[in-house]
Amino acid sequence: MESLTPDKIPRSQQAISVLWPSFITAIIASGVFFSAFNPRDLVPFNLDIDISPLAAYSIGFFLFWLLASLSSFGTLYFTISNCRFLNNQR
Amino acid sequence: MAQKENTVEPVLYEAHKKIYPREVSGYFTRLRVLSLVTLLGIYYVTPLLQWDGRQAILFDLPARKFYLFGLTLWPQDFIYLAALLILAGLALFFFTALLGRVWCGYACPQTVWTEAYLWMERKIEGKRGQRMKLDKAPTSAAKIRTKTLKHVVWIAFSLWTGFTFVAYFTPIDELAGELLNLSLGPWETFWILFYSFATYGNAGFMREQVCKYMCPYARFQSAMFDSDTLIVAYHPERGEPRGSRRRSVEPAAVGLGDCIDCNVCVQVCPTGIDIRDGLQYECIACSACIDACDEIMDKMSYPRGLVRYTTENSALGKRQHLLRPRIIVYATILLLLCGILVTHISQRVALDLDVIRDRNTLYRETNDGLIENVYTLKILNMDSQAHVYKLWVEGIDGVKLVSDRPEIEVEAGSVYQMVVRLQADEFNLEARSVTVRFHLQAKDGNHLKTVTDARFVGPGKS
Phi, psi (5° rounding) for residue B233? -145, 150
Among residues B348, B378, B402, the one where a domain terminates is: B348
Task: Please tell me whether residues B259 and B165 are part of one structural domain.
Answer: yes
Between strands B371-381 and B414-424, the pairing is antiparallel
Q: Does some domain include residue B4?
A: no
Helix axes B141-166 and B172-180, enclosed angle (nearest 10):
130
Residue A38, domain extent: 12-89
Mutate to test the interface with A, among B6, B187, B197 (most CBs of A within 10 A): B187
CA pair distance B200, B426, nearest whole angstrom: 72
> Which of A16, A20, A35 lies at the smallest CB-CB distance from B78?
A35
Within a domain: residue B1?
no
Q: Which of B443, B453, B378 is nearest to B416 (CA)?
A: B378
In a domain, B443, yes or no: yes
Q: Are residues B256 and B294 in the same domain?
A: yes
Closest to B231 (Cα-Cα) out of B295, B278, B263, B277: B278
Q: Are residues B340 and B374 in the same domain?
A: no
The per-residue pLDDT for B17 is 78
CATH number, domain with residue B392: 2.60.40.10
Q: Give exposure, A41-60, as e/b (b: 16+ Cβ within 10 Å).
A: eeeeeeeeeeeebbbbbbeb
Residue to mutate among A35, A38, A40, with most B CBs inside 10 A, is: A35
Q: B397 φ, ψ to 5°?
A: -60, 130
H or E stretch at B332: helix B325-346
Burial environment of residue B348 by CB neighbours within 10 A (0 to 12, 13 to 18, 19 or more): middle
* CB–CB contact A53 B2 (8 Å): no
Average pLDDT, chain B: 90
Instruction: Please compute, for residue B462, the number of CA atoms within 13 A of its CA located in the half-sphere on the CB side.
Output: 3
Cross-chain Cβ contact B10/A57 below 8 Å: no
The answer to whether residue A81 sits within a structural domain is: yes
Query: Residue B295: what residue type?
Result: E
**Which range (A65-69, B2-6, B251-255) has the least confidence?**
B2-6
The 10s digit of each residue's pLDDT in B390-424 is 999 999 988 999 988 778 899 888 889 999 999 99
Residue A78 lies in a domain: yes
B1–A58 C-beta distance less than 8 A: no
Supply the range of the domain harboring residue B449. 351-457
A2: closest CA of chain B, how far (Å): 6
Quick one: B307 and B418 in the same domain? Answer: no
CA-based torsion, B279, B127, B35, B88: positive or negative: positive
Last residue of a domain, one of B281, B316, B348: B348
Indicate the residue among B298, B322, B348 that finishes a domain.
B348
Question: CA B350 to CA B343: how far, in whole Å?
Answer: 15
Per-residue model confidence as pLDDT tens digits over B52-79 = 889 999 999 888 889 988 888 888 888 8
Q: How many structural domains is chain B composed of?
A: 2
For residue A52, the chain B residues in CB contact (below 8 A) are 62, 185, 187
* B32 belongs to a structural domain: yes
Across the interface, which of A2, A5, A54 has its CB nearest the CB of B188? A54
Residues of A whose CB is below 8 A from B169: 54
The rounded distance, in Å, linking the Cα atoms of A7 and B1 is 18
Residue A48 lies in a domain: yes
pLDDT attached to residue B383: 83
Q: For residue range A40-87, list pLDDT tens digits in order.
A: 888 777 777 778 888 999 999 999 999 999 999 999 999 998 888 888
Whether residue A33 is predicted with pLDDT greater than 60 in this model: the reply is yes
Q: Which of B36, B38, B41, B45 is nearest to B115 (CA)?
A: B36
Per-residue confidence at B252, pLDDT binned at 50, 70, 90?
confident
Mean pLDDT of B433-452: 89
Q: Is the dihedral of CA B403, B404, B407, B408 positive or negative?
A: negative
Question: B9-31 b/e with 16+ CB inside 10 Å = b?
Answer: eeeeeeeeeebbbbebebebbee
Number of domains in chain A: 1
- Report DSSP state, residue B170: S
B28-39 pLDDT tens trace = 999 999 999 999
Residues B257 and B321 both lie in one domain: yes
Q: Do B78 and A36 touch (CB under 8 A)?
A: yes
Greatest extent of chain B over all pairs of C-alpha atoms, in Å: 114
Q: Give me the pLDDT at residue B16, please.
A: 66
B304 and B209, same structural domain?
yes
Cβ(B124)–Cβ(B153) below 8 Å: yes
Residue A45 lies in a domain: yes
- Of B33-42, B98-107, B218-227, B257-266, the least confident: B218-227
Q: Could you give the CA distance from residue B49 to residue B164 in angstroms, rounded to a whole number? A: 12
pLDDT greater than 60 at residue B8: no
Please give the Cα distance from A63 to B283 (Å, whole number).
36
Residues B235, B278, single domain; the answer is yes
Q: Which of A2, A16, A35 sits opposite B5 (nearest CB)?
A: A2
Q: What is the pLDDT of residue B14?
A: 53
Quickly state the pLDDT bin for A35 (edges 50, 70, 90). confident
Q: Are B8 and A2 inside 8 Å of each other by CB? A: yes
Model confidence pLDDT, tens digit, residues B128-170: 999 999 999 999 999 999 999 999 999 999 999 999 999 999 9
**% of chain B surpassing 70 pLDDT:** 96
- Same domain, residue pair B333 and B399: no
User: Is position A6 within any domain?
Assistant: no
Amino acid at B426: E
Residue B7 lies in a domain: no
Residue B427 confidence (pLDDT) above 80: yes
- Higher pLDDT among residues B305 and A84, named by residue: B305
Alpha carbon of A31: minimum distance to chain B alpha carbons (Å)? 9
B111 and B53 co-located in one domain? yes
Of B187, B213, B214, the CB nearest to A54: B187
Share of chain B above pLDDT 90, in %: 62
- B2: in domain: no
Looking at per-residue confidence, does B382 or B129 come out higher? B129
Test B1 with A1 for CB contact under 8 angstroms.
no
In a shared domain, residues B293 and B417: no
Q: Which of B422, B440, B415 is nearest to B375 (CA)?
A: B422
* Residue B462 lies inside a defined structural domain of this protein: no
pLDDT at A12: 82
CB B163, CB B178: distance < 8 Å: no
B5 inside domain: no
Q: Please enumerate residues of B whose Cβ is less than 8 A from a Cβ of A.
A: 1-2, 4-5, 8, 10-13, 61-62, 64, 75, 78, 81, 169-170, 185-188, 190-191, 213-214
Helix axes A11-36, A53-89, angle to 10 degrees: 140
Q: Is the ipTM of this complex over 0.85?
A: yes
Q: Tell me which of A19, A54, A79, A85 to substitute to probe the interface with B (most B C-beta atoms closer than 10 Å).
A: A54
Residue B181: pLDDT above 80? yes
Tell me the torsion sign for CA atoms B130, B134, B135, B138: positive
The pLDDT of residue B12: 43
Q: What is the mean pLDDT of residues B210-224?
A: 88
Pick from B318, B305, B194, B220: which is nearest to B259 by CA?
B305
